[in-house]
Amino acid sequence: MNKLIKTSLALACIASSSTALSQAVEEVVITAKNNQSIEDVLQTIHVFNLEDIEASQAQSIPALIDQIPGISFRDSGGRGSATGVFLRGASSSQTIVLIDGVRVGSATLGAAALNSYPIEAIERIEILKGPFSGVYGADAAAGVIQLFTKKGGNGLGSVQASVGSDSLEEFDVSFNVGDDRNSVHISAHRESTDGIDRTSILSGGNDDIDGFEETAFALGGKLSFGEFTSASINVLATDSTVDFDNTFGTDPGLQTDSETLSSALSLNTQLSDSIDWNITLGSNKDQAETNGAFPSDLTTNRDTASTEFVLTLGGESTLTAGVDYYEEDIKSPTTTFPITNRDNKGAFTQFTTRAGAVGFAASLRYDDNSAYGSETNGSIAVSYQLSDGIDATVSYGTAFSAPSFNFLYFPFFGNPDLLPEESESFELKLNGNTGDLSWYVAAYRSDFENLFSFNRDTFLAANIGEAEIEGIEASLSTAWAGWDLTVAADLLSAKNKQTGIELDDRAEQTIVLLASRNFGKLDLEFKAKSENGRYHRSGTELASYTLFDINASYRISDNLSLYAKVDNLFDKDHTVNLISATERYNTQGRQAKISLKLNF
């Protein structure tokens, strides 16, 4: 089976009797803790491995995971623009993004920009849905997205060159040394594109083309010390420049220069047959500098340390206990924050077990933050095997999201007395696997309170918002007449609980169709995605749309491959983000790209 079937199995968290599929589900899901395989994780999970990522030819991480039910994206005018990810209707600040186990993103904005990290540097993506503050603490109300950078590969390396629409030029080079136990990976990525006009505004010099440039370097390595101890190091550095329009007036050539740096050093040792010990030290830098009449220069520096013990208690029972610490520092020559530092101490435990047809998972975590005090959260999930190949799971959890430095301390807006946002979530899931047919359907509900908002009486940030989110998502995959087929659907209701108005940027109905087939040296993949019921600017409904994509790869020789991709095949004009009642952020039309890759 190709990547579509493998990905669907990850969605359903089930096993297969065939050899090829068994290899797929035996992968350990690192983000879920407790050394769990895909089939053992009770929560809804999605996994993209290196084969999936390369076969998709996706231009960015958001473009790749956009096929997952329960995810909506918002951009602000094409490649490199500001984006938001809405997992099961929650906001970007309610989903944690990790790189190699290290929390990343801006502490002033309170979220990570997934488009800031080049997909070419990533070998695996794990997405857990549901409340995970019981394991990860703040900002895991909707789930966790973890990116794993490359640590090595087959052969000595590769070179890839690409050209495409809007004067797109890309170049990637990587080198590998070592074997499965000891290895080093080094890679570099360069991309530039003229881009599109990001907005529909035609006055004040805004009727221009807004480009994007990105350079990235990655280093990964692992070293084994005997049979039971290993260490790994991962570093990802990016530097990008984005042109954008001025939605409030004249555009003098506005740009944002961004830099990110993520690094992780991990040590794993097996103390005994039943005890594993992990230590991770990490750091993250996120800087954005914008020119213009009102310049902005904001930098987040975050240092992290964590350690955990994984105890196998016998049978299929596992207990993980850990503590972690992170410290965030804000630096800005353009904005004066009265407080520029905070730290967080946390301790958690998670227990998983299986007894016959029943599976069980529970987590509990305590956080103590120097800015907003302490929080205790947890989750519980129970599964039952209804019949051979069909399981039912019910889960409940609480979570919280931390106020960003902007909400707490931004001049003339911040409120240092803000409390964290709080939420509770329920989920009921059915998943099954019979022969070549695998499927899952999940119904969920989340209630949020203390949401960060603007108090019109005090002109300051305040905890006055409430939201109610309900949804049903489903995925089904099968093989038919040589084709691997997947259909995924999502029904969502996300509303302001006080006003009844739909929340911005979430589509109420989404359906995705995927089809792929291998013809010897040629691989083909088709994708269609349709959205309806997306709202913006407090109740304005945007027009529904359907986009079609196609990509192909051809193996010229064992070491040389040709790739081709066309997104938005029929050049559909569509809107996902408004500026005002009369202006919008533009979206990309038909985009073509062709690549040549040499492995050596």
| pLDDT per position as a tens digit, 14-38 | 333 333 333 344 578 999 998 898 8
Condensed to tens digits (0 to 9), the pLDDT of residues 417-438 reads: 999 999 999 999 999 988 889 9
Condensed to tens digits (0 to 9), the pLDDT of residues 170-202 reads: 999 999 998 888 999 999 999 999 999 999 999
Provide the token pair at 492: 């969502």
Q: What percent of the chain has pLDDT over 90?
A: 82
Q: Which residues in the chain come in under a pLDDT of 50? A: 1-25
- State the pLDDT at residue 153: 65
Give me the phi and psi of 345, to 5 degrees please: -115, 135
Return d(Cα 287, Cα 241) in angstroms, integer.
12
The rounded Cα 298 to chain-centroid distance in angstroms is 23
Q: Which of 63, 70, 71, 74 is nearest to 577 (CA)?
A: 74
- Can you give the three-state secondary structure of 134-155, one letter per residue? HHHCCCCCCEEEEEEECCCCCC
- State the pLDDT at residue 11: 43
Task: Find where tokens 């095997």 sit.
Answer: 385
Return d(Cα 151, Cα 159) in angstroms, integer.
17
Condensed to tens digits (0 to 9), the pLDDT of residues 27-85 reads: 789 999 988 988 889 999 999 999 999 999 999 999 999 999 999 888 899 888 888 89
Structural domains of the chain, ranges and CATH numbers in brackets: 3-535+544-566+573-599 (2.40.170.20)
Condensed to tens digits (0 to 9), the pLDDT of residues 432-458 reads: 988 889 999 999 999 999 999 989 889
Is residue 11 helix, strand or coil? Answer: helix
CA distances to 22, 64, 390, 456 from 13, rounded to whole Å, are 12, 20, 11, 46
Beta strands 545-555 and 522-532, pairing class? antiparallel
- State the pLDDT at residue 151: 82
- State the pLDDT at residue 27: 75
- State the pLDDT at residue 294: 85
- State the pLDDT at residue 26: 58
- State the pLDDT at residue 178: 87
Condensed to tens digits (0 to 9), the pLDDT of residues 291-303 reads: 987 899 999 999 9
